[in-house]
Structure 1
């Protein structure tokens, strides 16, 4: 083994009697040590306090602080320190804020009891005050102080438990502390102090409300938030499906009515309606000979049923998508309703009556027609309508139409590979065989010529064993990064299972 002496930055060799200091190490070695220390702190944050590394020396501070202030987890009690500490260049480093609204505590014996009207009113007041306080702080930041912050909002009481969130918290009478309560703003009840309503915040460009937000938010509360973010470009929303049809219908109709009033600055929208609970330990449908699906519309098993979708909401998303670059809506609407004008029986005589998507690049939708028990003709009809619509999407680079349930999954994909010489292709991946009709291939061939002036490649179908809903989404959807937020992906797959490399990356 060859012994190489340590050389300081002046090119001088350090003898054994001279102790090498930090400044004496080569720049490459110092950078390597710092990278290792930061990576260890991020991997085990409870064992390593990254903030303390910034106090070692000026060089460490300059490297550690951009990482340390890159993402912050805050509650209302942190806002004073946040306002005092995140100043100057630290504002430019901040990219992600998770703001957790802490609702009042309640006795354990009430964990299965619906909230009283007084409790709901108090939750609304707390929610209103804390969100308004955050916006007050961020509103003082000039637009030039930040390149854009992603704001994640969540709400829960310290008394809430994940075990009782969703369907697991329902009583035999169908009552729940979570499902029956929807947070809304209550500015009339917040007194004379502070702002009346939400002030505008210019530094937030992305808003996320993910599955780790256990409490429901009223659609008009979300409208209030997005309306106070003038530079908002992206919204991600991952609510849980309501347990009963009536509640779901009311919420969906409210969403349909309010979506047209969302900011015109939006370029990307992603909605994913979670099912709860999800049993990923399933066998493939080939081995499950006893499984019968007598009626896809019956609400027996929440994981195997046709989702409760809203036609009005689908039409509202379709209208909104004309202004977008990227859209993904999973389980909340059906692609058949989104493409309703493009089914043969509904095609108008004149093209001006049809929508035109001048900017849409990515589109991902679900449809309950994509099911192993459906006739191939019904799938063809959906993919034909989608192809006719795609002719009016000149910027389209990927469209995925998919469905996943307890026993099966499948996805139809049109994709133009990245780069100048991008190749357009269509294909099918699923847990059952689907023979794509010639008319489907022909209409998508016309899309390829119209949009990228190249011949379409029809890829061989891929039939696979089913390993669960979220494994299929993460392994088989090219638009996974649009469909699910990375935070939710990490939560669903577990920290020990790394996220698969995405086929496509959002820009």
Structure 2
């Protein structure tokens, strides 16, 4: 078990604009020959339909992080200071103090990264060797690759550029298809062809990176993987791409490896890569990647410490159940080196509800009444605790006078969970330092042992020696759920927290088309706090306060502050995740947070930051 002091690995967010001034190379120091032999970057805008031979070598994810515009690279020449007759006219720059020169260059780089922009960041690299070194440190921090780039990737990214590299986004390009097949499931032959493309690209990149020594990338690389056909459209990647018969080109197939011969490769079919320490499949990957493929990848990364997996929720209950059971079966085989796991099952945003003024923005007159339509049992029918029992296991009467739009009717946008998956994740979390599971399993299943009255014959409860951050979802957090039922969950979480000596943040939340809410415990510098923040009010029970106060005093050495209930308007699921979650930095990748944001409501800085 690792030390709690090592809980926070370097942030997986996008690389900084430029290193801080005190970390910049001394501009007065002569630049090496390698530094002055510049690689300038010219721009060549093209869509995904452009033939590969016209696309250039690779694409800087810093320059064009959110679009498919390609930035081609070409060789250029930058003159070092003092190398030409024009130097007499440039003495003004070199006579400036080093701090001022660094500040000017930083502003120039920031301006080049702004959108809309008239030029690309790489154009600054040809000014001189000093500018080249600092610009390349930013430009090579994050790269996106397609299959055509792989042949030149190893030779172009060499030497010091490998030390600058932090993030590689491999975009597997699948074959095109006609518009008539937009919502038609792929044939077996098409799936096999896609698997071959997927296998070839991932295997080719791993063969290159397998030759890189750890010393070349001392900080480690984040490897992001996505797959897309040029014919794919974001509009049809969600609910609109599902026909009335339930068919979908996106949901009905899963990319997996099609290895022909693995004898000369690793035990899982891929070469072992030491320089990758983080692996991510984010929501901008519209295609399903099979859980077996995820296992093959992480098993080929002996130094992996972080996994972020953000698949889309399936629209077919049967397909979702199969996926969840596969994940429950394979997660125990993920590497023991993992210390941070973030699982986020994405869904379609219910924009139409917010535009029509629906949702749970106003107080309800029956906030404290018992909701007989909520029954808290697992898939096997086992009740999770007496506090969750209702006298009547029936739905609300059909003649209920409440607005139908506010009823908790089941629909495809609300999460479905698997008890077996939650229990598997709970067992796996004992070895982790940070864990977030959103909409993929339920906190009631995760904390199931802490609802029960313990007997001497039952096995000992687990101890999470290193767990510092924990974020879970539960569909129990709904305005139809009684305060007693909610407090039962919060109490079970507190009992579990007793056995988490390193815990610094726990958040249990839910957001759906009608409401949003979160219960959180956070340890600060002088005190610990618990609070409820949601679109409806919840009163925290006295026994919940007492148990959490015991946790704070025992493990954090400070007193507990119980904050007043914070009532917020419900502005949508994505808005709640971005603006109201304290643990958002763990729940979703920074790239996904920006993807879910809108122009009106850009993603703010996280309340709590991973280190």
Alignment TM-score, normalising by the size of structure 2: 0.75
Moved more, 140-149 or 26-35: 26-35
Query: 1:393 maps to which residue?
Result: 500
Structure 1 residues 19 and 386: CA distance shift in structure 2, 3 A: closer
Can you list the C-alpha shifts for 1:268-292, whole angstroms capped at 9, x where unaligned?
0001111124325454424596235
Is the aligned partner of 1:382 residue 2:489?
Answer: yes
User: What are the residue-to-residue correspondences of 1:175-190 with 2, within 5 Å?
Assistant: 175-188=247-260
Is the aligned partner of 1:502 residue 2:606?
Answer: yes
Is the aligned partner of 1:290 residue 2:406?
Answer: no
SS in 1 for 2:404: coil
Question: Which residue of 200, 204, 217 corresponds with 2:289?
Answer: 217
User: What are the residue-to-residue correspondences of 1:3-22 with 2, within 5 Å?
Assistant: 21-22=92-93
Tell me how large the CA RMSD over aligned residues is.
2.2
SS in 2 for 1:441: helix
Q: 5+ residue gaps in structure 2?
A: 1-27, 29-87, 365-401
Q: Retained in 1: the 8 A contact 2:360–2:406? A: no
SS in 1 for 2:559: coil
Query: 1:403 maps to which residue?
Result: 510
Aligned equivalents of 2:263, 2:424: Cα separation in 1: 37
Alignment TM-score, normalising by the size of structure 1: 0.90
Aligned equivalents of 1:492, 1:33: Cα separation in 2: 33
Query: 1:444 maps to which residue?
Result: 548
Can you list the C-alpha shifts for 1:143-187, whole angstroms capped at 9, x where unaligned?
111121111100010110111102110112110100101000010
Aligned equivalents of 1:75, 1:496: Cα separation in 2: 32
Structure 1 residues 191 and 388: CA distance shift in structure 2, 3 A: closer
Aligned equivalents of 1:468, 1:277: Cα separation in 2: 8
- Per the TM alignment, residue 31 of structure 1 is displaced from its structure 2 partner at its CA by 2.1
Aligned equivalents of 2:171, 2:197: Cα separation in 1: 12
Structure 1 residues 351 and 143: CA distance shift in structure 2, 3 A: farther
Aligned equivalents of 2:446, 2:589: Cα separation in 1: 23
SS in 2 for 1:39: helix
Query: 1:415 maps to which residue?
Result: 522
Aligned equivalents of 2:273, 2:547: Cα separation in 1: 45
Q: Retained in 2: the 8 A contact 1:271–1:328? A: yes
Query: 1:6 maps to which residue?
Result: none
SS in 2 for 1:222: helix
Query: 1:138 maps to which residue?
Result: 209
Can you list the C-alpha shifts for 1:226-279, whole angstroms capped at 9, x where unaligned?
000011000001111000110000000000000000010000000111112432
Query: 1:360 maps to which residue?
Result: 467
Larger RCO, structure (CA 8 Å, separation 6 or more): 2
Q: 5+ residue gaps in structure 1?
A: 1-8, 10-16
SS in 1 for 2:144: strand
User: What are the residue-to-residue correspondences of 1:158-197 with 2, within 5 Å?
Assistant: 158-188=230-260, 197=269
Structure 1 residues 292 and 36: CA distance shift in structure 2, 3 A: closer
Can you list the C-alpha shifts for 1:116-160, whole angstroms capped at 9, x where unaligned?
000001101110111000101111100111121111100010110
Q: Retained in 1: the 8 A contact 2:328–2:424? A: yes
Query: 1:246 maps to which residue?
Result: 318
User: What are the residue-to-residue correspondences of 1:81-92 with 2, within 5 Å?
Assistant: 81-92=152-163
Q: Retained in 2: the 8 A contact 1:429–1:462? A: yes
- Per the TM alignment, residue 107 of structure 1 is displaced from its structure 2 partner at its CA by 1.2
Query: 1:309 maps to which residue?
Result: 417
Q: Retained in 2: the 8 A contact 1:166–1:277? A: no
Structure 1 residues 193 and 203: CA distance shift in structure 2, 3 A: closer
User: What are the residue-to-residue correspondences of 1:336-351 with 2, within 5 Å?
Assistant: 336-345=444-453, 347-349=454-456
Question: Which residue of 569, 590, 595 corresponds with 1:491?
Answer: 595
Aligned length in residues: 482
Aligned equivalents of 2:537, 2:117: Cα separation in 1: 48
Aligned equivalents of 1:87, 1:19: Cα separation in 2: 31
Aligned equivalents of 2:361, 2:262: Cα separation in 1: 62
Aligned equivalents of 2:345, 2:339: Cα separation in 1: 20
SS in 2 for 1:319: helix
Is the aligned partner of 1:63 residue 2:134?
Answer: yes
- Per the TM alignment, residue 47 of structure 1 is displaced from its structure 2 partner at its CA by 3.2
Q: Retained in 1: the 8 A contact 2:349–2:574? A: no
- Per the TM alignment, residue 351 of structure 1 is displaced from its structure 2 partner at its CA by 8.2
Aligned equivalents of 1:47, 1:249: Cα separation in 2: 49
Structure 1 residues 185 and 136: CA distance shift in structure 2, 3 A: same
Query: 1:274 maps to which residue?
Result: 346
Query: 2:426 maps to which residue?
Result: 318
Aligned equivalents of 1:152, 1:314: Cα separation in 2: 25
Aligned equivalents of 1:356, 1:114: Cα separation in 2: 46
Aligned equivalents of 1:191, 1:357: Cα separation in 2: 38
Query: 1:12 maps to which residue?
Result: none
Aligned equivalents of 1:182, 1:293: Cα separation in 2: 36
Structure 1 residues 19 and 67: CA distance shift in structure 2, 3 A: closer
- Per the TM alignment, residue 452 of structure 1 is displaced from its structure 2 partner at its CA by 1.8
Aligned equivalents of 2:574, 2:272: Cα separation in 1: 37
Aligned equivalents of 1:473, 1:425: Cα separation in 2: 20
Query: 2:529 maps to which residue?
Result: 425
SS in 1 for 2:506: strand
Aligned equivalents of 2:93, 2:539: Cα separation in 1: 66
SS in 1 for 2:522: strand
Structure 1 residues 479 and 339: CA distance shift in structure 2, 3 A: same
Structure 1 residues 18 and 392: CA distance shift in structure 2, 3 A: closer
- Per the TM alignment, residue 74 of structure 1 is displaced from its structure 2 partner at its CA by 0.7
Aligned equivalents of 1:191, 1:233: Cα separation in 2: 25
SS in 2 for 1:260: helix
